[in-house]
Structure 1
């Protein structure tokens, strides 16, 4: 059985499971998307619109330029997945309308821009950022941009930070968990972190394959477990190397319900006691971060995360299109039905918390 067929079967089973929790979302046309669900303040989460008024902080875009660059670099099966998923503006808006998502922050997923030498990567980052900004300009109430940086070239990355914020008016930054095996807390990246701290940037972390994936992935697609461990690894470094402490104005978003951090937090904190005097306050640092609930947050990951942080730190994420449309809808129904969150907490997760991080989108794209 092919990987693609297994994926489709698995997503079908997920959708069937969600149907037992409530009526499946009904499709809506994209006509009138600009003034439709994004501005319908009366909508509440139901089986028809399980993600009513949500601001999706973990959504991806794949422009023709970027797709071709991946293909040319031999990355047409990114991170061991079967294919680069299809993506279009119309398709994204149709999914948003059919679930009630008001706005989505667009970013580039793994494998990022590891497509050649640093000069090639730098040029591609600039072009894809420009294309992302054009998508936002054409759909200002529906899309935001979390721009990419050409790391591990720190000097180029500092220049790109200035460009994306001062010229493109990006809403934030998306960083891979490692760049060519160098993790985000590495001293070579400190000039970039200092610039992001100065700008009080929102920085969404996104996992990618670790440098050692050939030995650790067990011959399977890296998003299954390697992504979660790589997120855990880079956040652990950011905390233990005091990046979170020394750059307090960066507002980090950790994906996938905190990955393995809720389970490992106490273990990391215990080891931190042996590393420095005074020791790093690991639990305190984790509580200051933000977390999206993209992927399989229920039934187990979200309750574990809630033992670490309160709901004011949680944000909705779809991971579309790397999470297929059927799965996004099924997971949305599951989130709408869970008793882990009260109705007030659920709306906070869907939109209220993100509105504080991304006020432009909370204000209908006008600020």
Structure 2
């Protein structure tokens, strides 16, 4: 399906790259398939550009998807982060009008992550950083991350959070691909932890992007508000957020990757409004046919269910976010 000739060009905030040597490194670490899916997808710059041209995407912001770069060894994770970020910077330099990238951080190796964030933003031209919803089971509100958040906050940096398989997925995944439901719950768990402990108020400059229409956040926000008001006056959040979660969530950014129509996008906009909603394709893990279906569903249903032009909206929002960063 080819985009309408007069439709606004899209900015894809949730796009992945997958060099063969990265796959080899992951497989060598025992990750034969990513997060229980049937196998690793193929990716190339030329294939990605064809996908963009076919769907009216002018710019894709590249990032590494789950399982990230930390496979259990801090030093190897730091080295792999450097390699993938150098590669992404080269792709962007070769196609400056088509690609940007988020610098991958090797959490939970905090010192290496801080160094790579600074290098990525200052030397490589990254438009933000990419982190997992958890890092070897440690969530983003881990106190060890404070220095990293402080640095990113001082820069007003964009932080693209991608879901990871949670610790203990063997007991909860029901032998299904973890990207089916575990990803949504892990994103939700990580954001709620940050919202409850006051991280977003301590570091108001952080521009966090939550994928997949906010995951489960639109459904659980009211329930979290209730618990904050009635059942969480003490530990583990005695000095946490002064705002209820539903208020905090309005300051975050959200992409539409996944299944935005007919339900998720409406629920998201109902909760947080539309001023921070972004387009995301999830390519290359979402194949071209699926990306085209997703875009077609937005073209067909957004105006009727939500109102306005989703293409103009998400592109304008992405420009604001990327200029801010």
Q: Does 1:44 align with 2:6?
A: yes
1:244 aligned residue (193, 200, 203):
200
TM-score, normalising length from structure 2?
0.93
Deviates more, 1:311-320 or 1:114-123: 114-123
Q: Does 1:275 align with 2:232?
A: yes
Unaligned runs of 5+ in 2: none
Aligned to 2:283: 320
Aligned to 1:31: none
CA displacement at 1:275 relative to structure 2: 2.2
Q: Does 1:353 align with 2:317?
A: yes
Could you list the per-position Cα deviations for residues 244-295 of structure 1 after superposition, in whole angstroms to 9, with x for gaps in the alignment? 1111001011100010000000001111123247843211100111110000
CA displacement at 1:76 relative to structure 2: 2.6
The question of whether the paired residues in 2 share the 8 Å contact of 1:102 and 1:142 is answered with yes
Decide whether aligned partners of structure 1 residues 317 and 300 sit closer, same or farther in structure 2, where only a CA change above 3 A counts: same
Q: Provide the rounded CA distance (Å) in 2 between the counterparts of 1:345 and 1:94.
A: 22
The question of whether the paired residues in 1 share the 8 Å contact of 2:213 and 2:265 is answered with yes
Q: Does 1:291 align with 2:259?
A: no
Unaligned runs of 5+ in 1: 1-23, 27-41, 46-51, 362-367
2:271 aligned residue (296, 300, 308):
308
CA displacement at 1:360 relative to structure 2: 9.6
State the aligned residue count: 316
Could you list the per-position Cα deviations for residues 287-306 of structure 1 after superposition, in whole angstroms to 9, with x for gaps in the alignment? 11111000001111111111
SS of 1:318's partner is coil
SS of 1:175's partner is strand
The question of whether the paired residues in 2 share the 8 Å contact of 1:147 and 1:164 is answered with yes
Aligned to 1:64: 20
The question of whether the paired residues in 1 share the 8 Å contact of 2:72 and 2:136 is answered with no
Cα-Cα RMSD: 1.7
Q: Does 1:230 align with 2:186?
A: yes
Q: Provide the rounded CA distance (Å) in 1 between the counterparts of 2:323 and 2:116.
A: 23
Q: Does 1:76 align with 2:32?
A: yes
TM-score, normalising length from structure 1?
0.83
Instruction: Write out the 4+ residue segments of structure 1 that deviate beyond 2 Å after TM superposition.
Output: 42-45, 274-281, 340-346
The question of whether the paired residues in 2 share the 8 Å contact of 1:315 and 1:353 is answered with yes
The question of whether the paired residues in 1 share the 8 Å contact of 2:15 and 2:63 is answered with yes
Q: Provide the rounded CA distance (Å) in 1 between the counterparts of 2:243 and 2:86.
A: 39
Q: Provide the rounded CA distance (Å) in 1 between the counterparts of 2:44 and 2:57.
A: 16
The question of whether the paired residues in 1 share the 8 Å contact of 2:26 and 2:71 is answered with yes
2:175 aligned residue (219, 225, 230):
219
SS of 2:120's partner is helix
Aligned to 1:124: 80
Bigger RCO of structures 1 and 2 (CA < 8 A, at least 6 apart): 1
Q: Does 1:25 align with 2:2?
A: yes
Q: Provide the rounded CA distance (Å) in 2 between the counterparts of 1:238 and 1:116.
A: 24
Q: Provide the rounded CA distance (Å) in 2 between the counterparts of 1:69 and 1:98.
A: 31
Aligned to 2:54: 98
